[in-house]
Amino acid sequence: MIKYAKIPNFQNIGEVPIVGTHLYQFVNTTQYHNPMIMIRAYDIETPLVWHGLLFINDLEYKNLPINDVDLTEVKSILGEYKVVEDFKDFIKGNMMEYYFESFKRLEDDVYNGNQ
């Protein structure tokens, strides 16, 4: 099960604490602002993976590239998965879509992921 996966430099936080979301959180504890990987599995045919930032207080999100993240264990657990580049596409059709509907995307030049 994905809730037991390990991703180097990321802490496994587990499933989003709302029953039935099937969204799993992994937080990077080595970078400022703690970028996260979210994995959506079990409620869709092909699991989805998203990398970025959520700013809950500001109702904003930032998509980040996933190029340097080792997802070997995720692949061994899930098999095939699809990397989704935009957070809104990641949550589309999930109950969390309503929770995050007011979130706005930060433009690419606002945060570069290394600050």
User: What DSSP character marks residue 3?
Assistant: G
How many angstroms separate the CA atoms of 4 and 8, rounded? 13
Q: What is the pLDDT of residue 115?
A: 44
Q: What is the pLDDT of residue 20?
A: 67
**Which contiguous run of DSSP H or E holds residue 45?**
none
Q: What is the pLDDT of residue 47?
A: 95
Work out the average pLDDT over 53-75.
93
52, 40, 49, 17: which is closest to 93 by C-alpha?
40
Dihedral (Cα; 64, 66, 69, 73), 10-degree rounding: 120
Work out the average pLDDT over 33-51.
92
* 69-95 per-position pLDDT tens digit: 999 999 999 999 999 999 999 988 888
Q: Which residues pair with 91 in a beta bridge?
A: none
pTM listed for this prediction: 0.87
DSSP for 82-108, written as a single string: EE-SSHHHHHTTSTHHHHTTT-EEPPT
Mean pLDDT score across all residues of the chain: 88
